Structure 1
Amino acid sequence: MNSRRDFLQKIGVSALMLQLGSVAFADTPNHFEQPYDGKVLRVAIMGLGGYGTRVAEAMKACTKAKLVGVISGTPSKIKEWQTKYNIPEKNCYNYENFDQVKNNKDIDAIYVITPNALHHSQVIRVAKAGKHAICEKPMALNAIEAQEMIDACKKANVKLLIGYRMHFEPHTLEVIRMRKAGEFGKIMFFQAQCGFKAGDPNQWRLNKALAGGGAMMDIGIYAINGARYMVGEEPIWVTAQETKTDSLKFKEGVDETIQFQLGFPSGAVASCLSSYNINYLDRFFMSGNNGFAEMQPSTGYGPIKGRTHKGELMQAITTHQTVQMDEMATIIFDDNKPIVPVNGEEGLKDLKIIEAIYLAAKIEKKVNLNI
């Protein structure tokens, strides 16, 4: 198993065809039932690896977004994608010349799906080319880079969106709705377990220069982001403890396992686990005075499953990236405001918390947050 994406793909592969077949029943009314004759977001994908391929396949079912271009450093991949997705030669670029996309009126947005360390420079180049930027998470290596990306997109008057697919997932949104409606009462506790055994020791996700860390940057961000949107507050302190059992595979600066705790203004607390050395971790649990919510799987590619004190969650099974890209089209074109934000500021908050977690683990003390 080489990465989180490999792990999620394996647990979700049997459900992908089910998702593609049942996405018409998504919780967004008439999402795929009525013909759409509005503006279509024309997207180029940068980075044609495993997740880029998953996004491309999911976009086949989109009604408001369309894959029209590719950017890659591998010529053979470009040729393959051209044939597979009917992409014209004029919409194909490499990492050296993609700035020329500024002269291409047939591309509206570029989805950056490359190693973490490349996001900063690539998104800034996308902004300077006058294109909207969609960036995979984590959006950068640190908060300073993230802020520079936000500033660059604002200066260029383009949108910057982060690939938070769970922010559009129906089961997730139902739990958020219930929490907002007070159906759980006062939220007291949240727990997130996110992890798997990382495979190839030479993969870029175990290279600090490319990944910016280890499990926390890759899978732990789901726990951080989930704690924020489930509890509905921003944390004000963090404590953390790191465990490393294999210092050859997980070198200096590449975390293997981190347990961390978050405190919220209301008094709610979160207990979270991020690991590259423990399999089958994909669970959220939240407890309030009047009820609870449990999701397992909670962030995998699907199908997401959950239950509350009222019974099993019966929301639609969707292909996350299909809904994500259609919803992002409405954000870009119509300035639609999603229930949970997916803008650059959202990504910046997660990075500030990640930095505080790393610091807390290092100094073995509570770190106060102001995000």
Structure 2
Amino acid sequence: MEFPAWTAPTERPAGPPPAPLPPGERVGFAVVGLGRLSLEEILPAFGETKQAKLVALVSGTPDKAKAVAAQYGVSPEALYGYADFDGLKNNPAIQVVYVVTPNGLHKEYVVGAVRAGKHVLCEKPMATGSADAQAMVDAAKAANRTLMIAYRCQYEPYNRAVQKLVRGKTFGATGFIDAVNVQNMAAPDQWRFNKALAGGGALPDIGLYCLNGARFISGEEPVEISARIWSSANDPRFKEVEETVSFTLRFPSGLIANCLASYGLHESRRMGLHAPGAAIQFDNAFAYTGHRLSVAHRDGEAESVDERRLAAKNQFALEMDHMAECVRTGRVPRTPGEEGVQDHKLMEAIYRAASSGQVVKLDPIEKEDATRGPALSEG
């Protein structure tokens, strides 16, 4: 449906009204793992999807699963424990399995899901290393199932607007990116401090946003990496995983990305991008909400700072709808399994660089968006 314009051309266009698919035509999702991310972000986001719907839950806590199912209208017959995960194959309403377990369990449930004939959306980081990540890609290909990694920022409007500014060379070629994603963590007994379950500390959890963000915004792959890692002495949180990592990426165009991630610093999630004609400041770049984007540039005899305001959209709903579209149409996801494998290879290079104190050189990859599927539409 379309309405005639009701505001003047000087006003920001509202866009067409939402066009959700009828419930019977939406793609059914089973969410595996009912932790904080699922309960606080993913399950509520189904209320904003247009092509996806929640049809099943998998949890190791039956009472929690029953309570959540009652809240979201999931049938009691569509509740599964991890021991009866194979039962998903007998439920035709489930087309996509969304794996939201700790990282070290991703491979088990991704491989199990594709072998059960289901498509899979898997949370980032994809696994705990590139070998397991590649095995997940191979299993999905062998089963002829779609595997997508939940890089939510690549679907979020502000991140895509920054990508457009950089790739379009709106203010000339971007020469430097400064990316920071830090937060002060507690509860040393949580799984994120367990190396077997997490794969690492600040790097794979929140540093990955800086790494993937620089790759996604530029479309390039780094050819050199240097890094440093440090942790507070005698802090029980960091007996197995790193507290802080700083790494620098050099790209073929000459672009440098300087990145910082930490589990021991006050929360900040920002990105600064510098080009000959402008300085772009992107605050809350990796957050769920609250994005702010400003561009400082010359305006005649003055320095102008323009704030870009975009309509807020739920990035979890956007990524789930994209996955649903891929299932419905057969298209390759924008963030397929290969995107996750590449990030793991680069994180392993970051660890090598930090351990050796030497610059790690990588074979150049000339193709833009080499590990991504087709670009998203502007809508």
Q: Is TM-score (shorter-chain normalized) higher than 0.5?
A: yes
Aligned equivalents of 1:29, 1:136: Cα separation in 2: 30
**Is contact 1:285-1:293 (8 Å) kept?**
yes
**Is contact 2:48-2:314 (8 Å) kept?**
no
In the TM superposition, 1:228-267 aligns within 5 A as: 228-267=215-254
In the TM superposition, 1:246-325 aligns within 5 A as: 246-309=233-296, 311-325=306-320
Of structures 1 and 2, the one with the larger relative CO (CA 8 A, separation 6+) is 1
Write the deviation string for residues 16-69 of structure 1: whole angstroms up to 9, x where unpaired: xxxxxxxxxx99954x52353483110010000111112001111212100110
Pick from 321, 343, 348 the counterpart of residue 355 of structure 1. 348
In the TM superposition, 1:358-369 aligns within 5 A as: 358-369=351-362
How far residue 292 of structure 1 moved from its aligned partner, in angstroms, is 2.9
2:215 pairs with 1:222: no
In the TM superposition, 1:27-46 aligns within 5 A as: 30=16, 33-37=18-22, 39-46=25-32
**Is contact 2:283-2:293 (8 Å) kept?**
yes
Aligned to 2:38: 52
Cα distance 1:267–1:253, how it changes in 2: closer, same or farther (>3 A)? farther
Secondary structure at 1:179's aligned position in 2? helix
Aligned equivalents of 2:153, 2:331: Cα separation in 1: 17
Write the deviation string for residues 259-306 of structure 1: whole angstroms up to 9, x where unpaired: 100010111111110100011221101112222322101111102111
Residue 38 of structure 2 aligns to which amino acid in structure 1?
Answer: G
**Is contact 2:231-2:238 (8 Å) kept?**
no
Aligned to 2:323: 328
Aligned equivalents of 1:185, 1:210: Cα separation in 2: 43
Aligned to 2:73: 86
In the TM superposition, 1:105-144 aligns within 5 A as: 105-144=92-131
Report which of the two structures shows the higher radius of gyration computed on alpha carbons.
Answer: 2
Aligned equivalents of 1:28, 1:365: Cα separation in 2: 51
Secondary structure at 1:187's aligned position in 2? coil
Residue 231 of structure 1 aligns to which amino acid in structure 2?
Answer: S
Aligned equivalents of 2:152, 2:62: Cα separation in 1: 29
Aligned equivalents of 2:15, 2:117: Cα separation in 1: 33
Aligned equivalents of 2:359, 2:156: Cα separation in 1: 33
Secondary structure at 2:104's aligned position in 1? helix
Aligned equivalents of 1:315, 1:336: Cα separation in 2: 27
Residue 303 of structure 1 aligns to which amino acid in structure 2?
Answer: G
Q: CA RMSD for the aligned pairs?
A: 1.9
Aligned equivalents of 2:107, 2:88: Cα separation in 1: 18
Cα distance 1:35–1:102, how it changes in 2: closer, same or farther (>3 A)? closer
**Is contact 2:122-2:147 (8 Å) kept?**
yes
Q: With the length of structure 2 as denominator, give the TM-score of the two structures.
A: 0.86
How far residue 337 of structure 1 moved from its aligned partner, in angstroms, is 5.8
**Is contact 2:224-2:360 (8 Å) kept?**
yes
**Percent identical:** 37
Q: With the length of structure 1 as denominator, give the TM-score of the two structures.
A: 0.88
Secondary structure at 1:105's aligned position in 2? coil
Q: What is the number of residues matched between the two proteins?
A: 343
Structure 1 residues without counterparts, runs of 5 or longer? 1-25
**Is contact 1:190-1:231 (8 Å) kept?**
no
**Is contact 1:205-1:214 (8 Å) kept?**
yes
How far residue 252 of structure 1 moved from its aligned partner, in angstroms, is 4.6
**Is contact 1:134-1:160 (8 Å) kept?**
yes
In the TM superposition, 1:130-209 aligns within 5 A as: 130-209=117-196
Runs of 4+ in 1 over 4 A off after TM superposition: 26-29
Aligned equivalents of 1:250, 1:82: Cα separation in 2: 34
Aligned to 2:371: none
| Worse overlay, 164-173 or 308-317 | 308-317
